[in-house]
Amino acid sequence: MRYLTAGESHGPQLTTIIEGLPSLLPITAEKVNYDLKRRQGGHGRGRRMQIETDTVEIVSGVRHGKTLGSPVALVVTNDDWKHWTKIMGAEELPEDIDPSEIKRQISRPRPGHADLVGGMKYGHRDLRNVLERSSARETTVRVAVGSVAKALLNELGISIVAHVTEIVGIKADQNLLEGKSADEIRAIVEQDPCYCVDPEASAKMVEAIDEAKQAGDSIGGVVEVIVEGLPAGIGSYVHYDRKLDSKLAGAMLSINAFKGVEFGIGFEMARKKGSEVHDEILWDEEKGYTRATNRLGGLEGGMSTGMPIVVRGVMKPIPTLYKPLQSVDIETKEPFKASVERSDSCAVPAASIVAEHVIAWEIAKAIVEQFHSDQLPQLKAQLDEMRQYTKGF
Ligand code: EPS
């Protein structure tokens, strides 16, 4: 299973083609739109999100609500495009135009963004050519892809949820997750402005986001994704490129501004002894094999253990600042403040939604690649069989 995305932040639309989905999978635009709306929300979002109402158009691969097995193409149009048709249009420029007349050109790269090195790499003197594609606007359509992946996981009895665990050092009380299912966590975070399970921490996060906005600054944080219901044995230990944890880590780091990833108790493992890290193995008739704890985050030897997958990612503060940092104008080479573009003071809550969806995609992909998966009913039967088999192993 694979997908490609295309689209510039202020171009006409974002496009994706998903290939390799099983046939007979129910997909509705309504469900995808719900996830797209969640990505647009969260405290700290900027003005662009007031312009857009991201909605998906399913343009191929689905008939009467179910996948055909052929490529599924999805489109999300940019409402802002109408303000950018001259600046971003695909048509050739008139021959007599003076290049300096092109509006909204960028020559002062933002530290921490792709602007400078992207310009060097592709030979763009107008750094807008980099910004337009490196913008996190592209995550819109990756959420649409992940939403389709979640529809598949749902059919297979697998649930997934993301929540914000930390913003600028303000941490949610992780004890509040104790004994809660993914669906229960979802019900809480859907009501919270920071997509956080801890209302006290969330109130402080809101304050910190407002302060950052006031100061023209930006702040980052940590998001966590939990996957429940995955049978043991997805992924593999036999070769580096079949390890599920490396795929999940890659997916997390593919999100704009994400700089680190950890599983289970994560980097805390460096501070503990083996006896305090590894999860003891239990068996009972009803549940089969489980672990007494889940410090490894549901993964051993690059494979799912059957315990919930717990993966976290850290997002740096967005590098587009209203109070810009020092930079250099690439035309004059003189020191200047970096260019100021519209931005979000904090996109961590929104990024938690992106994390949920890129992880959903990777899990769905690993399953589809491991089993015979031309048709959803066949895939379902094989997963049920795997669950029964691993239980009595
Ligand atoms: C985003 C859309 C963008 C930015 C933001 C994320 O729209 P615009 O550039 O028109 O404001 O708001 O992306 C960044 C700030 C960034 O640095 O990548 C979105 O749809 O999430």
Q: Which of 190, 195, 189 is nearest to 209 (CA)?
A: 195
pLDDT of residue 59 exceeding 90: yes
Is 99 labelled as part of a ligand binding site?
Answer: no
- What are the distances in angstroms from CA 184 to CA 159, 198, 289? 11, 13, 24
Closest ligand 1 atom, residue 256 Cα: 18
Q: How confident is the model at residue 30 (pLDDT cuts 50, 70, 90)?
A: very high
Residue 94: predicted pLDDT: 85
Mean pLDDT of 146-154: 98
Q: Is 122 exposed, middle or buried (0-12, 13-18, 19+ CB in 10 A)?
A: exposed
Q: Which of 365, 366, 363, 370 is nearest to 385 (CA)?
A: 370
CA–centroid distance, 314 to ligand 1, in Å, is: 18
Residue 95: predicted pLDDT: 86
CA–centroid distance, 136 to ligand 1, in Å, is: 5
Mean pLDDT of 295-309: 98
Closest ligand 1 atom, residue 320 Cα: 17
**Six token digits for residue 100:** 């300096």
Mean pLDDT of 101-128: 96
Residue 101: predicted pLDDT: 83
Is 316 labelled as part of a ligand binding site?
Answer: yes
Is 90 labelled as part of a ligand binding site?
Answer: no
Residue 298: predicted pLDDT: 98
CA–centroid distance, 48 to ligand 1, in Å, is: 7
Is 257 labelled as part of a ligand binding site?
Answer: yes
Q: How confident is the model at residue 278 (pLDDT cuts 50, 70, 90)?
A: very high
Instruction: Print the domain residue range for 330.
Output: 2-392
pLDDT of residue 96 exceeding 90: no
* Residue whose CA is at the smallest distance from ligand 1 atom 18: 135
Is 128 labelled as part of a ligand binding site?
Answer: no
Q: What digits encode the pLDDT tens for the residues 213-265? A: 999 999 999 999 999 999 999 999 999 999 999 999 999 999 999 999 999 99
Residue 256: predicted pLDDT: 98
Q: How confident is the model at residue 338 (pLDDT cuts 50, 70, 90)?
A: very high
- What are the distances in angstroms from CA 274 to CA 279, 291, 293, 310? 10, 15, 13, 19
CA–centroid distance, 194 to ligand 1, in Å, is: 18
* Residue whose CA is at the smallest distance from ligand 1 atom 3: 137
* Residue whose CA is at the smallest distance from ligand 1 atom 21: 137
Closest ligand 1 atom, residue 136 Cα: 18
Ligand 1 pocket mutation, candidates 8, 9, 50, 342, criterion most atoms within 8 A of CB = 9
E strand residue ranges, the chain: 2-6, 13-19, 56-60, 62-63, 66-67, 72-77, 159-167, 170-171, 221-228, 258-263, 281-284, 288-291, 299-300, 303-304, 309-315, 326-328, 335-337
Mean pLDDT of 306-312: 98
Is 320 labelled as part of a ligand binding site?
Answer: yes
CA 60 – CA 258 distance, rounded (Å): 32
Q: Is the ipTM above a cut-off of 0.95?
A: no
Q: How confident is the model at residue 100 (pLDDT cuts 50, 70, 90)?
A: confident
Closest ligand 1 atom, residue 47 Cα: 11
CA–centroid distance, 11 to ligand 1, in Å, is: 13
Residue 97: predicted pLDDT: 84
Query: What is the share, in percent, of the chain residues with pLDDT greater than 70?
Result: 100
CA–centroid distance, 45 to ligand 1, in Å, is: 9
Query: What is the share, in percent, of the chain residues with pLDDT greater than 90?
Result: 95
Q: List ligand 1's pocket residues with C-beta within 6 A.
A: 9, 46, 48, 80, 135-137, 139-140, 256, 318, 320, 341-344
Mean pLDDT of 122-128: 97
Q: How confident is the model at residue 132 (pLDDT cuts 50, 70, 90)?
A: very high
Is 135 labelled as part of a ligand binding site?
Answer: yes
CA–centroid distance, 159 to ligand 1, in Å, is: 29
The model's pTM: 0.97
Residue 93: predicted pLDDT: 87
Total number of domains in the chain = 1
**Residue 187 near residue 195 (C-beta atoms within 8 A):** no
CA–centroid distance, 183 to ligand 1, in Å, is: 29
Q: What is the CATH number of the domain that holds 363?
A: 3.60.150.10
pLDDT of residue 98 exceeding 90: no
* Residue whose CA is at the smallest distance from ligand 1 atom 7: 48
